[in-house]
Amino acid sequence: MAKNFKLFLIAILAAVTFGTYTFICNDVARAEEGQRNAIHLQVSPTKQKISLAPGSSYVGTFKVQNVGAAEFNYSVYATPYSVINEDYSPSYEGLTNYTQIAEWITFDTKTATGKLQPGTSVDVAYTVNVPKDAPAGGQYAALMAQTEDGNDTNATVAVVHRVGMILYAAVPGDTRETGEIIKNTVNTFYFNPPLTVSSLVKNTGNIEQTATYNVKIYPLFSNEAIFSNEEKPDKEKQLDIIPETSRFNSITWEGAPRIGIFSVEQTIEFAGQVSTNKKLVLICPLWLLFVIFAMLFFIIFWLVSRARDRKRQATRSSNSEKHEEKEE
């Protein structure tokens, strides 16, 4: 009986092991199949800056790339580009005085649509026909490439993959490059890393302007920086601010230690203004603060008690001397 029971347990364990192995293999196979069929659409560059003259035409190109393992059909179109908050969340809806360019753009019919095999690309040509009465200042649009080829041919909902290139255009004339640095924030205390500085700038002009951010962090007793954003990506070093918007930016020192005192300096250059904020910054865990405060409390308590004891002893000595004088 015991022998049969052991055989039964072995059979169950073998079935469970085989089922688990089969499930994992099928899951891996599905993942690999999904990766093979994945659509990866890309455009290059992601940003272009051009200058336009009223009544003229401008011809440019951008590249649509298939960087995945599956072929797809693509199409391109132009849409307005703006932002909706200080974090610069993009918006591709609604015409404004600064997004009229979206209606001036046409595409070469030979490259506006097509099919791309894996590892191939196409140069899409576009033309900007500028009206004679185009307003001076900035104009902004997104040149979008999209594909509607889903991974599942039996799916009832099409999967849309969309990427875009932001077009920054400047029309000469009465342009204003004005703005202000609203905030340059360096906090003095952090309970935990990382250490982050932040800022807020506002473009009050009618053309985009570039804000430049320089952050350096030094040990307390050294002039050699242990962190600098000099080698950081452009998004942390320089940012474009489009007209009549405010942009928040933060730069983070991810490698900050859990405890330390540092000299932190942030310099912002924008619209002809320069703002520098330099502070001593402390990084200290909350538990360590409690320990420090507790030690300070006991030290102060000990010093006060010691002073009281000395005062009492002095008072007793004085009273004793007076008593001896009276007896004499």
**Could you tell me the fold of the domain covering 179-283?**
Immunoglobulin-like (2.60.40)
CATH 2.60.40.10 describes domain 42-170: yes
Q: Between these two residues, 40 and 32, which has the higher pLDDT value?
A: 40
Question: What is the DSSP code (8-state) at residue 135?
Answer: P
Average pLDDT, stretch 173-192?
Answer: 96
Nearest residue to 274 (alpha-carbon basis) of 145, 144, 180: 180
Integer angstrom CA distances of residue 193 from 13, 134, 197, 282: 48, 50, 12, 10
SS3 assignment, position 172: coil
127-161 confidence digits (pLDDT tens): 999 999 999 999 999 999 999 765 545 545 456 78
Burial class (CB in 10 A: 0-12, 13-18, 19+), 310: exposed
pLDDT (0 to 100) of residue 39: 85
How far apart are alpha carbons 242 and 199 in whole angstroms? 16
Handedness of CA 297, 298, 299, 301 (dihedral sign): positive
pLDDT in tens, 237-262: 899 999 999 999 999 999 999 999 99
Q: Considering the chain, tell me which residue range(s) the CATH 2.60.40.10 domain(s) occupy.
A: 42-170, 179-283
Give the model confidence (pLDDT) of 51-100 as tens digits: 999 999 999 999 999 999 999 999 999 999 999 999 999 999 988 999 99
Contact 282, 190 (CB under 8 A): yes
Would you tell me how many other CB atoms lie within 10 Å of the CB of residue 122?
19
